[in-house]
Amino acid sequence: MCTQSVTSHAISQRRIAIQSPDHDFHATKPVPAMNPDISSIADRLVARIRSVSSAAVAFSGGVDSAVVAKASVLALGKNAVAVTAVSPSLPAEELRSAIQLAETIGIRHLQLMTDEFQRPEYRANAGNRCFFCKDTLYTVTSARLEELQVSCILNGTNLDDLGDHRPGLQAAINHQVRSPLIEEGLNKAMVRALAKFWNLTVAEKPASPCLSSRIAYGIEVTEERVARIEQAEACIRRITGIQELRVRLEASELARIEVPLTAMSAFLEHTSRSEIASQLRALGFRRITLDLEGFRSGSLNDTLPLVQLGQSATV
């Protein structure tokens, strides 16, 4: 049986305690493994997952879930399955990449249609939107465990995630989802090292949060808006060649474009800026701006204290 014990109070304090029969890990501040030998770390992670006998891995196709999926197939073979949530918030390119990556890893792969967009709490897009997304995924996956012939769910949460705004952690607690990377005390750098050790193509892949995360808190999440954001980002990539970027949807249908600081000059000098503006307006954005602070993951979380003045963003 797969068990995990983490208190809600601990998460609210960015403090987590995860216990299993052979491990007791407590962290008030994420601390990476000391003097790591990547081969032995890989062996320990595989051994830890082997102890559950069978598992479904919440698989986005990012480096964290890829490492857990790889370790799971090494530990459990056919008793491991990767589960990817498919909804309007998942970019089509990310789904294609996840399918290809699962095939490369050699793990069974199931695509599950999820209906978080039908939940009023998700659409409301308060600071806890992610809770309802993860709760939907874990609920749908839990209902299929017997059919999949697996005993529990694993996710790719790592130590560094504990210092960020992650409402989905509470959903994992509620569904007794296990986090083997945290149990082994692994931060993002160690996860990437494991991905390189296992020759995974996503070892250096940047984080790619869902499309809904581009919509400012308090603005309703809709299928039309996430589709528009996906098209806008694809348009800018095609025109400029810049791959790592975000189009953030702010109030009054304002598009705030983030590109890396190293690409800022090229973007400003690009002869097709007028074409970008024209195409984004055609998609339904009323104003198009460039963020002078550049690309930064999770920049919309900067507004959370303001959102939380009027309503709680915790579950």
Residue indicated by tokens 């399955």:
81
CA dihedral sign, ordered 67, 247, 85, 14: positive
CB atoms within 10 A of CB 193: 19
pTM of the prediction?
A: 0.83
Q: How many angstroms separate the CA atoms of 183 and 156, rounded?
A: 11
pLDDT at 207: 85
**84: nearest Cα among 67, 70, 96:** 96
pLDDT at 267: 87
pLDDT at 271: 79
pLDDT at 167: 86
Give me 90's structure tokens.
């998942």
| Rounded mean pLDDT for each run of 10 residues along the chain, 315 residues in total | 40 37 36 67 97 97 97 98 97 96 98 97 94 97 96 96 84 96 96 97 92 96 98 95 94 96 87 91 96 77 48 35
Sorted by where each starts, the structural domains of the chain and their CATH numbers stand as 8-197 (3.40.50.620), 211-296 (3.30.70.2210)
pLDDT at 299: 54
